[in-house]
């Protein structure tokens, strides 16, 4: 009698649990798909790698979070003490088998994620070794490029308080707006003239600190035409938030034409919102806390347009 | 041993003025720490309101950009060094001696000195608002070279005062840590072996060991920063041959473990409170206790995950990704143990229990975003964005501060002798939980979209989530009102508390409320079983019935 009723309860419990796990799996799968929509447009070869990893982790995370919250909701609904019942529950001190299980499962899970990440990174060499080279030393390009992917274009990036300057040594062009050719590998040499800055283009999913006293090489390949934002991602002082630039990814032909046109353009002051705001600040009589004065805007062939709409 | 003299006849209550002087009673120092911490919590919170006020619109229009940078820097610094560390040291002072049956801390004078350093460095930090040029503005990380630019050029400047305050805070914390570790190791009640110690003491021991290992690195790094700022050295100045990235290693070598210094005692609080309000023993006591020390070991070798985009070799990125992810394992052991404790219990949804449940919910969420942040390519995209800000506010506010509120409501009757009001407490809990999630959840989509942290203005596409975050922040600001009302009114005129109003098991609940100055004095009971014996019917100490009968008699005649 007792055993049969136990068995029937267990069957119901197992069925209910299986059903709920099924619901959670479906929900997690759906959230994993949704995760792609929370990210900006993907515009470099690195972006799909990041997006897929994030999607996978969102799905796993949804399952874990859903399972934990399900237990919490269950006990809050069904394991509440009756009013005025202050007695103790049936004591359970622990269970070694359970402890082993819930140590092993997270261990295997996170190690699998780590393994998958490392393998994915190796497949895609661009997200990668950023060699530090002292300014005075000869440039050493650490390998990692197959012959067909040798970067065709080199761009020097100079970060300052608070402006970005992009130099194209081969074409003898400088700009405060970054122009890149789609599907064309590019190597940036990142240098800073004052403090730490962060070279961050969200649509490319790439970020690298720019460190004064070092030249850091960063490789990437844009994959989608459009206009994106470059944002300073390492706090650099008063106008940190204003230290942004537009990134224009265009067809190879357009890019070549742009370089040619720009080389002929006369030098003029580049964009620097900080310089404009600093002038207003100096003119106004209200007092505020101290700031480092901005560096003068760089002299460039192409200042670019600050109000251009961007895709991400 | 005899218990004939325990509990002693109640003495007339000592005057309230001792709270304002150099007192060596750990229970007074504990309350001094907590009240001081909440004073600074209000200042730090006010700064947060200004930050969210500025960020409710895309343009930089509420305060000047330099002022914004100073305010967010001071918000972080105050909340960490003047709120969360002092409030946890306050809880340590109240709970460690009473939980292990010690009359006081091992070094009571050192304890008082450690506390009095807090208002001193607090005053140093506050003074930086009034020096020429304003306070430090380089963020609570204070990365050089920005932090050593010194735009006003004065010898006395906000950044210099900031470094001095942080170094003094380190000295205070090292003094506290020595005291807590010694007290736990040397002053436990007879019979309280290390495996009969309450989990709160395990986690406090683990956290304070981290302080002793990590703080010297931060303090040394800070002294070199001060020398670079004020005396022209170039430890971190690239133009003098220094390396700005070196500072980041010193800083994170301590400041990542510091997160565990904060969260470990909160794990301890969860481990104490879930059994009480589920009326069940803690599930897998020994695993929960030992997991604390596995977290200490791993917590010391993960710091480089804060520096993935700083320029770190790929093999180091991968190594520190693996160590960081491994932390999920001991943490998971704890989370599952709490769920095991709740499962099949008789839950009482009191204010402390609700805060613990809310804190656990937030913590699990933060753990999942934490694993995402450990994954190198994902971290490269979201590091230094609002995703990180959302993640750590879920840890610090969503989990740690909610756990601290749970502890305050739970042990308030023990140390004040008064009961807090349940209605106000539940209102406080609801506002905190809703406010925190409204405030910090929108930060995750913002970070994924690419909004950097520490910005005083942003592109218009980020406006929607920022408005919601700001409304959540204002709700959090309001949530503190019922808390303050509750604390002040119940301390003054709340109903008298019995020695054990929650029917909890633990040495502190065998003391009168509030406990006498030397706790058990000479008559420390002998511990005969493991903690959390709910439902087992086994007494915790010898002659437990006698002790409880005397306490009840005393309460009846009072």
Question: DSSP letters along B419-479, please?
Answer: PPPHHHHHHHHHHHHHHHHHHHTTHHHHHHHT-BTT-SS--GGGHHHHHHHHHHHHHHHHH
Q: What is the pTM of this model?
A: 0.94
Name the CATH topology of A149-300: Immunoglobulin-like (2.60.40)
* pLDDT number for residue B439: 97
Compute the half-sphere exposure of residue B505: CA atoms within 13 Å on the CB side of its CA. Answer: 31
- Residue A128: pLDDT band (50, 70, 90) is very low
What is the radius of gyration, based on Cα positions, of chain B? 24
- Residue B1: pLDDT band (50, 70, 90) is very low
The percent of residues in chain B predicted with pLDDT above 90, rounded, is 91
Chain B neighbors of A70, CB-CB under 8 A: none
> Which residue in A56, A74, A80, A88 has the most chain B C-beta atoms within 10 A of its own C-beta, making it the best mutation to test that interface?
A88
pLDDT greater than 60 at residue A141: no
> CB-CB: which of B244, B329, B375 is closest to A57?
B375
pLDDT greater than 80 at residue A146: no
Q: Is B143 on the interface with A (CB under 8 A)?
A: yes
- Residue B558: pLDDT band (50, 70, 90) is confident
pLDDT in tens, B469-493: 999 999 999 999 999 999 999 999 9
Beta carbons within 8 Å of A293's beta carbon, 6+ residues apart: A278
* pLDDT number for residue B9: 64
- Residue B418: pLDDT band (50, 70, 90) is very high
Q: Are the C-beta atoms of B405 and B429 separated by less than 8 Å? A: yes
- Residue A307: pLDDT band (50, 70, 90) is confident
* pLDDT number for residue B18: 84
pLDDT greater than 90 at residue A250: yes
Q: Do A65 and B313 touch (CB under 8 A)?
A: no
DSSP conformation class of A242: G
Measured CA to CA, the distance from residue B73 to residue B137 in angstroms comes to 6
Q: Given CA atoms B391, B396, B400, B404 in this order, what sign does their dihedral have?
A: negative
Q: Nearest residue on chain B to A73, judged by CA atoms? A: B357
Domain range summary for chain A, segments of one domain joined by +: 2-78+102-123, 149-300
- Residue A308: pLDDT band (50, 70, 90) is confident
Taking residues B172-194, report their average pLDDT.
96
> CB-CB: which of B60, B322, B383 is closest to A207?
B383
- Residue A130: pLDDT band (50, 70, 90) is very low
pLDDT greater than 90 at residue A119: no
pLDDT greater than 80 at residue A285: no
* pLDDT number for residue B7: 64
**Least Cα separation, residue B375 to chain A (angstroms):** 7
pLDDT greater than 70 at residue A106: yes
Q: Is B333 on the interface with A (CB under 8 A)?
A: yes
- Residue B276: pLDDT band (50, 70, 90) is very high
User: What ipTM, to 2 d.p.?
Assistant: 0.93
> CB-CB: which of B65, B285, B344 is closest to A90?
B344
- Residue B11: pLDDT band (50, 70, 90) is low
Question: DSSP letters along B41-53, please?
Answer: HHHHHHHHHHHHH
Measured CA to CA, the distance from residue A245 to residue B292 in angstroms comes to 46
Q: Is B501 on the interface with A (CB under 8 A)?
A: no
pLDDT in tens, B69-83: 999 999 999 999 999
Taking residues B229-256, report their average pLDDT.
93
Q: Are the C-beta atoms of B440 and B397 separated by less than 8 Å? A: yes
* pLDDT number for residue B313: 80
Burial label, B234 (beta-carbon count in 10 A; 0-12, 13-18, 19+): middle
Neighbours of B254 (CB within 10 A): 24
Q: Do A85 and B284 touch (CB under 8 A)?
A: no
pLDDT greater than 70 at residue B350: yes
pLDDT greater than 60 at residue A284: yes
Q: Do A90 and B280 touch (CB under 8 A)?
A: yes
Q: Do B279 and A277 touch (CB under 8 A)?
A: no
Measured CA to CA, the distance from residue A183 to residue A153 in angstroms comes to 12
Across all residues in chain B, what is the average pLDDT?
94
Q: Do A211 and B245 touch (CB under 8 A)?
A: yes
* pLDDT number for residue A151: 59
Structure tokens at B151: 């735009």
* pLDDT number for residue B356: 98
> Which residue in A24, A68, A162 has the most chain B C-beta atoms within 10 A of its own C-beta, making it the best mutation to test that interface?
A68
**Least Cα separation, residue B62 to chain A (angstroms):** 13
* pLDDT number for residue A131: 45
* pLDDT number for residue B4: 52
Across all residues in chain A, what is the average pLDDT?
87
Chain A neighbors of B345, CB-CB under 8 A: 75, 79, 89
pLDDT in tens, B319-332: 999 999 999 999 99
Structure tokens at B546: 């006698």
- Residue A83: pLDDT band (50, 70, 90) is confident
DSSP conformation class of B83: I
Backbone angles phi, psi at A34, to 5 degrees: -60, -30
> CB-CB: which of A92, A99, A196 is closest to B143?
A196
> For residue B359, which of B447, B271, B490 has the smallest C-alpha distance?
B271
Q: Bin A308: left if φ > 0, else alpha if -120 < ψ < 50, else beta.
A: beta
Q: Nearest residue on chain B to A115, judged by CA atoms? A: B322
Taking residues B417-445, report their average pLDDT.
97
pLDDT in tens, B140-161: 999 999 999 999 888 999 999 9
Chain A neighbors of B459, CB-CB under 8 A: 229, 244, 310
* pLDDT number for residue A134: 40
Which domains are assigned to chain B?
A: 28-557 (1.20.210.10)
* pLDDT number for residue A7: 53
* pLDDT number for residue A8: 59
Q: How many residues does chain A have?
A: 312
Q: Is B409 on the interface with A (CB under 8 A)?
A: no
pLDDT in tens, B283-325: 999 999 999 999 999 999 999 999 999 878 888 899 999 999 9
pLDDT in tens, A23-53: 999 999 999 999 999 999 999 998 999 999 9
Contact pairs from chain A to chain B, CB under 8 Å: 300
């Amino acid at each position: 009698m007792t055993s049969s009723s136990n068995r029937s309860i267990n069957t119901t419990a197992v069925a209910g649990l299986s059903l709920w796990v099924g619901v959670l799996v479906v929900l997690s799968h759906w959230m994993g798909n949704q995760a792609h929509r929370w990210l900006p447009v993907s515009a470099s070869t690195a972006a799909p790698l990041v997006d897929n990893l994030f999607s996978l982790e969102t799905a796993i995370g949804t399952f874990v979070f859903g399972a934990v919250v399900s237990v919490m909701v269950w006990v809050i609904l069904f394991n509440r003490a009756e009013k005025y019942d202050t007695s103790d529950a049936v004591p359970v001190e622990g269970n070694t088998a359970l402890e082993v299980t819930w140590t092993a499962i997270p261990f295997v899970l996170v190690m699998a994620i780590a393994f998958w990440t490392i393998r994915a990174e190796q497949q895609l060499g661009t997200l990668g070794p950023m060699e530090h080279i002292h300014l005075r030393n000869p440039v050493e390009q650490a390998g990692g490029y197959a012959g067909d992917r040798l970067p065709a274009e080199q761009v020097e990036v100079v970060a300052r308080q608070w402006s970005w300057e992009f130099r194209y040594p081969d074409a003898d062009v400088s700009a405060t707006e970054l122009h890149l050719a789609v599907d064309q590998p590019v190597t940036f040499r990142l240098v800073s003239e004052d403090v730490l800055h962060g070279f961050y283009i969200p649509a490319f999913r790439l970020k690298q600190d720019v460190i004064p006293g070092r030249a850091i090489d960063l490789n990437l390949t844009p994959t989608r035409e459009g206009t994106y934002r470059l944002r300073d991602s390492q706090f650099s002082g008063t106008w940190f938030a204003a230290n942004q630039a537009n990134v224009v990814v265009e067809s190879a032909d357009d890019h070549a034409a742009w370089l040619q046109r720009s080389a002929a353009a006369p030098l003029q002051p580049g964009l620097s919102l900080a310089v404009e705001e600093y002038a207003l600040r100096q003119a106004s009589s209200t007092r505020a806390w101290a700031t480092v004065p901005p560096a003068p805007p760089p002299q460039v062939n192409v200042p670019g347009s600050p109000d251009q709409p961007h895709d991400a | 041993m005899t218990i004939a003299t325990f509990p002693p006849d109640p003495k007339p209550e000592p005057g309230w003025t001792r709270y304002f002087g150099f007192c060596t009673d750990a229970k007074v120092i504990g309350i001094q720490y907590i009240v001081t911490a909440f004073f600074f919590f209000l200042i730090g919170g006010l700064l947060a309101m200004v930050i969210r006020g500025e960020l409710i619109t895309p343009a930089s229009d509420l305060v000047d950009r330099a002022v914004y940078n100073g305010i967010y820097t001071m918000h972080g610094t105050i909340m960490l060094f003047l709120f969360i560390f002092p409030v946890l040291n306050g809880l340590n002072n109240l709970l460690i001696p009473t939980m292990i049956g010690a009359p006081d801390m091992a070094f009571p004078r050192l304890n008082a000195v450690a506390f009095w350093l807090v208002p001193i460095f607090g005053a140093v930090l506050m003074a930086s608002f009034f020096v020429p040029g304003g306070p430090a503005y380089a963020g609570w990380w204070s990365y050089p070279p920005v932090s050593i630019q010194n735009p006003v050029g004065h010898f006395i400047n906000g950044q210099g005062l900031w470094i001095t305050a942080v170094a003094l805070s380190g000295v205070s914390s090292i003094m506290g840590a020595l005291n807590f570790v010694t007290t736990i190791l040397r002053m436990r009640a007879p019979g309280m072996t290390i495996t009969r110690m309450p989990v709160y003491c395990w986690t406090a021991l683990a956290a304070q060991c981290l302080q002793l290992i990590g703080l010297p690195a931060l303090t040394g790094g800070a002294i070199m920063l001060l020398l670079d700022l004020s005396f022209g050295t170039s430890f971190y100045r690239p133009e003098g041959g220094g390396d700005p990235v070196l500072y980041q290693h010193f800083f994170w070598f301590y400041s990542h473990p510091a997160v565990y210094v904060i969260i470990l005692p909160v794990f301890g609080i969860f481990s104490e409170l879930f059994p009480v309000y589920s009326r069940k023993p803690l599930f897998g006591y020994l695993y929960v206790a030992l997991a604390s020390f596995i977290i200490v070991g791993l917590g010391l070798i993960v710091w480089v995950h804060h520096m993935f985009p700083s320029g770190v070799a790929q093999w180091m990125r991968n190594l520190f990704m693996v160590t960081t992810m491994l932390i999920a394992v001991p943490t998971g052991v704890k989370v599952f143990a709490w769920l095991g404790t709740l499962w099949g219990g008789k839950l009482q949804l009191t204010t402390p229990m609700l805060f613990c449940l809310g804190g656990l919910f937030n913590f699990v969420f933060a753990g999942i975003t934490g694993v995402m942040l450990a994954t190198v390519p994902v971290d490269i995209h979201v590091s230094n964005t609002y995703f990180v800000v959302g993640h750590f506010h879920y840890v610090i506010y969503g989990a740690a501060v909610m756990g601290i509120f749970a502890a305050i409501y739970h042990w308030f009757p023990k140390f004040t002798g008064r009961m807090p009001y349940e209605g106000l407490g539940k209102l406080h809990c609801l506002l905190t939980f809703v406010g925190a999630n409204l405030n910090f959840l929108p930060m995750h989509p913002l970070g994924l979209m690419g909004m950097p942290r520490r910005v005083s203005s942003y592109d218009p596409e980020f406006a929607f989530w920022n408005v919601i975050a700001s409304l959540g922040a204002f709700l959090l600001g309001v949530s503190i009102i019922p808390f303050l009302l509750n604390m002040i009114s119940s301390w003054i005129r709340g109903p008298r508390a019995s020695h054990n109003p929650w029917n909890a098991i633990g040495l502190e609940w065998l003391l009168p409320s509030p406990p006498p100055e030397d706790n058990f004095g000479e008559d420390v009971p002998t511990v005969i079983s493991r903690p959390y014996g709910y439902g087992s019917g086994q007494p915790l100490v010898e002659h437990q019935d006698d002790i409880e009968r005397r306490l009840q008699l005393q309460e009846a005649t009072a």
